Amino acid sequence: NDDKKNNNNKDKEDNNNDDKKNNKNDSKENNKNDNKNGKNRKLGKTFVKRAKTIHNHPDNLTPEQIQQQKHYSKQRTTKLITTMARALLNPLQDDFKIGTIGSSVAAGHDNCHYDSYESQLQRTLSSIFLSAGMNLIVQNAGEGGGCGDTHENQVFCITHNVSPDVDIIHYSWTYFEHGGAEKARESLIRWGQQMPKRPMV
């Protein structure tokens, strides 16, 4: 009986070892296949998964979704044209203002102020607005993370961070957005609709 028990235990251990070897071989084979297919890229001892598929890429959308995107794109373009036309045709308006809120990425930290996004945008488009007799002002209200502000609370101070009479609000927090960003974006749009010019966001 003792011999039988010992033989059974030995058989179980052998089977377990075989299973472990098979699992290791399978995982190695899968990793090799994944690497060949471009799914993983080895960096030292870790594997980095390939970036997720972009959900709004036309190849991943149904015809109805593509049509809906075209509709939204047309709405945004119409809003931009209306916003600019209203300003250019207003005899009492001399300045067209774009107010930017966001993180240190928007602020241009670790960069020269001259090369920040807002400064470059103002230099690029100023001549176009000047030809129509209007000054372009692009305001930079980007903030570093050290102050504790995020996309969740800066939107409530929009009229304090940029001029209350801005024509366009540029939101640049997407670099740090995690969960619940849609609520912050909707709050910004709603606050913007209460501003004098109901700026495009």
Contact residues for 185 (Cβ-Cβ < 8 A; gap 6+): 155, 171, 201
**Whole-Å CA distances, 127 to 78, 139, 160:** 23, 17, 28
Contact residues for 184 (Cβ-Cβ < 8 A; gap 6+): 151, 152, 155, 173, 177
* Spatial separation of the C-alpha atoms in residues 90 and 137, rounded to whole Å: 17
At 127-160, the pLDDT tens digits run 999 999 999 999 999 887 777 777 888 888 888 8
Residue 136: alpha-carbon gap to chain centroid? 26
Backbone angles phi, psi at 6, to 5 degrees: -65, -40
**Whole-Å CA distances, 6 to 1, 134, 177:** 9, 94, 60
Look at residue 167 in the predicted model and tell me its pLDDT: 96
- Say if residue 42's pLDDT is above 80: no
At CA 23, angle to CA 13 and CA 32, rounded to 5?
155
At 63-93, the pLDDT tens digits run 898 888 889 889 989 999 999 999 999 999 9
Contact residues for 102 (Cβ-Cβ < 8 A; gap 6+): 141, 142, 143, 154, 170, 171, 172, 173
**Whole-Å CA distances, 140 to 106, 120, 124:** 7, 11, 16
Instruction: State the pLDDT confidence band at 22, using cuts at 50, 70 and 90.
Output: low
